[in-house]
Structure 1
């Protein structure tokens, strides 16, 4: 069953199973619909770095915050450099990156917090959004996993940070892998293939599963399944397979609903993943 479900009277996709467990939790993923941006960013572009009109982007961001019941002042973003570094967000970092790229938390692709009234956000146009929820300690996290973040195991880094700083037990952690480009639309060259093979060797993952993440492998090229690679990293880090939800939605196939950097030749907007705990 698809875990990301369109909300009532909105184009946004929600994680309702998580939100039912804890009423103050909000988590989901935006689509390209329902905002004010003009072509080629029409209409709900959340990215400030794609040459869209800044006022339109901020209007879209404010609409998202309002829609999920949080203030725009709570909106917090990282720089996103396709790495694997994680930032712990406290009240001091709350609100960074909400109105400008220059103010974002530098050098990170992952954010984690146990504070209420902090809205963690990150941005996508094919890369893989990863969500983390520790219900016992009320800790939330987001990670942006492009192919570089994936092969440097940002999912494992997030789990380790949550464990070290908050006492999160991997077997109790719930994870979700959001809409992103699927193997059907994502062909890569030998550089990426070699890095995936290297990751498999480093983590000592099952060889039979490695074959399943490559499709149509030929002459130094292959289609790869980034979602499944991230799932295997999570399992190796101690997450129970039954605690990992995976979206079947492909941003490449559904670029009427999603922005796709690959399918739109780089000239497009960005969706947002978000997770936050509202004040009681």
Structure 2
């Protein structure tokens, strides 16, 4: 079974070069789990989008973006049944993805979180400061199904129930509760409690760089009773504060029932490291996008 993640894992993500590109992976991931977050290194885009821009609505040349996306899919390996990419709207809607029901071209749902329990479905979302929240879980079959043979007639007991989710938590999605909504949906899909889930809060703008003004602060105060605990003074003085989106999403996941020991924070600020990451805030809006990817690997047998 998946071991609990230490809160102070150092570092929870590791850089890895695959097929000419660089991405970040989770070193302690179980064999059945695919999880990666791309950097900007290893693509064909130029200018403010250099190099591995994966965003189609950024102003980059479409052919370069598609070439970059193909590089990422090749690096993810063969066997994926399809790639699920939502139409993100900075809300808290969650879409459950089924392997046998791919979305028709151009009909992706408006959602900021995806969930699947089917092997071979690769969940994908793009980021450039917003917080990627990866979720996954594994649980033994319930006593009611432990002795039931699988549909293929092999006669063996079913293996562990597995599931994954990916949430896109900008500040609006964070306040809307997209991360806990994704966790609850994943837990329901797996038939387990949220305390059985693991989470990773990936690279995004950090508390060092994410400054917000009074209108946002008012919304934050109305939404979270502990808002002051995730805010810090800004050098600009009154009316501005720095907001820790990492800690906010971590607390929201704990409130949703996740075990704090199973939540890791990458603690990598996209605005601080623009050599590695695209940052909407640091670039003034003219930049590319990274991708977060998660899925149950194709070809992994139950229990493998």
TM-score higher than 0.5 here? Answer: yes
Q: Determine which of 2, 14, 25 is the counterpart of 1:14.
A: 25
- CA deviations over 1:47-93 (Å, ceiling 9, x no partner): 11112122211111111111121457622100011010000001255
CA offsets 1:4-47 (integer angstroms, 9 cap, x no match): 110145411111212xx2x2321010001100112121110011
Q: Which residue of 1 aligns with 2:137?
A: 134
Contact 1:61 1:72 in 2 (8 A): no
Question: Aligned match of 2:270 in 224, 245, 251?
Answer: 251
Pair 1:193–1:60, CA change in 2 (3 A): same
Structure 1 residues 73 and 60: alpha-carbon distance in aligned structure 2, compared to 1, 3 A threshold: farther
For the residue of structure 1 that corresponds to 2:293, the secondary structure is strand
Shift of 1:254: 0.2
Q: Deviations over 1:82-136 (max 9, x none)?
A: 0100000012553667xxxxx2522101000011111100011100000000122
The aligned runs of 1:50-199 (5 Å cut-off) are 50-70=58-78, 74-94=82-102, 103=106, 105-136=108-139, 137-199=161-223
Greater Cα radius of gyration, structure 1 or 2: 2
Match of 1:138, SS state, is strand
Q: TM-score, normalised by structure 2?
A: 0.83
What whole-Å deviation, never above 9, does each CA across 1:133-166 have from its counterpart, x for those lacking one? 0122210000000000000111111122123333
Whether 2:250 is the aligned partner of 1:231: answer yes
Q: 1:3 aligns with which of 5, 12, 21?
A: 12
**Cα displacement string for residues 178-219 of structure 1 (whole angstroms, at most 9, x for unaligned residues):** 000011111101122122222213xxxxx4xx3331111542
Gaps of 5+ in 1: 98-102, 202-206
Q: 2:294 aligns with which of 270, 275, 279?
A: 275
- In structure 2, the CA distance between the partners of 1:39 and 1:104, relative to structure 1 (3 Å rule), is farther
Tell me if the contact between 2:80 and 2:298 (Cα under 8 Å) persists in the aligned partners: no
Describe the shift of the 1:157–1:132 C-alpha distance in structure 2 as closer, same or farther (beyond 3 A): same
After superposing on structure 2, the runs of 4+ consecutive aligned residues of structure 1 that deviate more than 3 Å are 70-73, 92-97
What is the aligned-residue RMSD (CA, Å)? 1.7
Q: Which has the higher helix share?
A: 1
Structure 2 unmatched runs, 5+: 1-9, 140-160, 300-304
Paired residue total: 265
Q: Which residue of 1 aligns with 2:155?
A: none
Partners of 2:103 and 2:16 lie apart in 1 by: 25
